[in-house]
Structure 1
Amino acid sequence: MCQLLGMNCNTPTDICFSFTGFQARGGLTDQHRDGWGIAFYDGCGVRVFLDAQATIDSPIAALVRSYPIHSKNVIAHIRKATRGAIGLENTHPFQRELWGRYWIFAHNGHLRDFSPSFNGSYQPVGATDSERAFCHILQSLRARFPAGEPSPEALYQALRALAAEIGAHGEFNFLLSDGRRLYAHCASRLTYIVRQAPFGVAHLKDQDLSVDFKEVTTPHDRVALIATTPLTDDETWESVPRGTLLAFRDGMPEHFDDMSTGVGCEPGASLEAA
């Protein structure tokens, strides 16, 4: 089973502490050694780091662990190959453009008899069922909303329907982001936690490391972390019910009764990270 890690915040935040624990699952505390990747949104751009090595052996992972890149949306993945050779072209997360923004996607699971047709707007580069699913999602969204980006609620409903459609072919846990929201779908196993004031101390499960968040946060900070399994052993993580699609914005699961539909990523928009 691959490992997923996502972060969504109300202010640009680094993921060094959580990534330190996550990195250990790529060959130290777990058997996932078939590559890894991480994507950080930065304004309208995305910093993507990919490596076909195991995270525990990767100099790039060591850099990410120690380099405090601040972002409001982050997606990371550690791969256990089930389809497609070990190589950068099959390493998550994947990146594509839709409606003038970069979308990032990472998948945990295995899809059977999933062979969607593509019209040329999106085409897989590698051989994974995951990348095929991502291209199918974006192609379907473009076809479903030919006039352009829909309202956030309509987009959420479309993504939920696509998750159910693709999930009928197997295990479809995934993280997806357009830089403003982070979507998390649970098919079998996914957990999350929201950290906000009053902050306390947290200790990693996979490394003997603790941090006192009171020393590195402000009372207004809020951070949602999503992971395949909990990263800490002294905090209460919520299990996402199977078949559920969550949308996170500003460090919280979002409800769709009072959402704005603002688009664009001009300086100062909520998408922008420091």
Structure 2
Amino acid sequence: MCQLLGMNCNVPTDICFSFEGFATRGGKTDEHRDGWGIAFFEGKGCRLFLDSKPSIASPIAELVRCYPIRSTHVIAHIRKATQGKILLENCHPFRRQLWGQYWVFAHNGDLPAFAPQGMEFYRPVGDTDSEKAFCLILETLRQNFPKEKPSLEGIYPLLKDITNSIAEKGVFNYLLSDGEYFFAHCSTQLSYIVRQAPFAAAHLIDQDVTVDFRQLTKPSDRVAIIATTPLTDNELWTPIQPGDLLAFQDGLPLKLG
């Protein structure tokens, strides 16, 4: 299956270190060669980079590795196709607009024979189960809150309900964000780490690369990294329990229900 990478933090931060190890899994240290993508929220804007090439061989991925784009909400994905051809339109993350804001979604898993009904506004461009699930989530949110965006506490129960319904169809690990809210759902496998003071050095599993965050951060900084499997071998990662939907805010996980 695919792999996910997310970042949520209290100050704009670059994801170069984590992406260095993550992108290596797209064809070098792992088998996810069927495309990749990454989205960075910056204010109301959202930079989205996609490529159907493996991330290990993509010039666009090289740009992301070397260009320190700073953001408080980042979602990345490397693909091993289970449904849908290896085409650009099937690369995650997917992006749509709701309540005057961009929403971004990436999925790891498989939803066999998933065919949602009643899709009046959001329709998939590609032919993946993942994009269908994203469209169903947004369609449900729009139908229930047609005029304006609810609070985090207001949106969470509905998102949890639709997530549970989709998860009954198969494996449904995902990351979802609009640049203000950040959600992570674990169906089978997803972990996170919160980096905050006192900071220390971290060493990648997939590359012999070490970064000492004490030299790059302020004491008030806080960064949560979410990944399918841990990216470092000298830090303690926390597994998200199957069935849990976490909201991250300012680099901290919140379990609201």
| Correspondence 1:195-210 to 2 at 5 A | 195-210=195-210
2:214 maps to what in 1? 214
| Correspondence 1:109-188 to 2 at 5 A | 109-188=109-188
Aligned partners of 2:26 and 2:77: how far apart in 1? 10
Q: CA deviation at 1:182?
A: 1.2
List per-residue Cα deviations over 1:185-220 (Å, max 9, x = no partner). 000000000000000000000000000000000001
1:14 maps to what in 2? 14
Deviates more, 1:150-159 or 1:209-218: 150-159
> Is the contact made by 1:8 and 1:181 (CA closer than 8 Å) also made in structure 2?
no
Aligned partners of 2:112 and 2:92: how far apart in 1? 19
Instruction: Give the TM-score of the pair, scaled to structure 2.
Output: 0.98
1:23 maps to what in 2? 23
| Correspondence 1:1-274 to 2 at 5 A | 1-254=1-254, 256=256
Cα distance 1:119–1:189, how it changes in 2: closer, same or farther (>3 A)?
closer
Supply the AA of the counterpart residue of 1:126: G
Q: Kindly report the root-mean-square deviation, in angstroms, between the aligned alpha carbons of the 2 structures.
A: 1.1
Instruction: Give the TM-score of the pair, scaled to structure 1.
Output: 0.92
Give unpaired runs (5+ residues) of structure 2. Answer: none
Identity of aligned residues (%): 62
Aligned partners of 1:71 and 1:118: how far apart in 2? 35
> Is the contact made by 2:247 and 2:256 (CA closer than 8 Å) also made in structure 1?
no
Cα distance 1:245–1:97, how it changes in 2: closer, same or farther (>3 A)?
same
Count of matched residue positions in the alignment of Structure 1 and Structure 2: 257
Aligned partners of 2:180 and 2:253: how far apart in 1? 13
Supply the AA of the counterpart residue of 1:97: Q
Secondary structure at 2:142's aligned position in 1? Answer: helix
> Is the contact made by 1:184 and 1:247 (CA closer than 8 Å) also made in structure 2?
yes
Supply the AA of the counterpart residue of 1:219: P
Aligned partners of 2:186 and 2:99: how far apart in 1? 26
1:265 maps to what in 2? none
Supply the AA of the counterpart residue of 1:192: Y
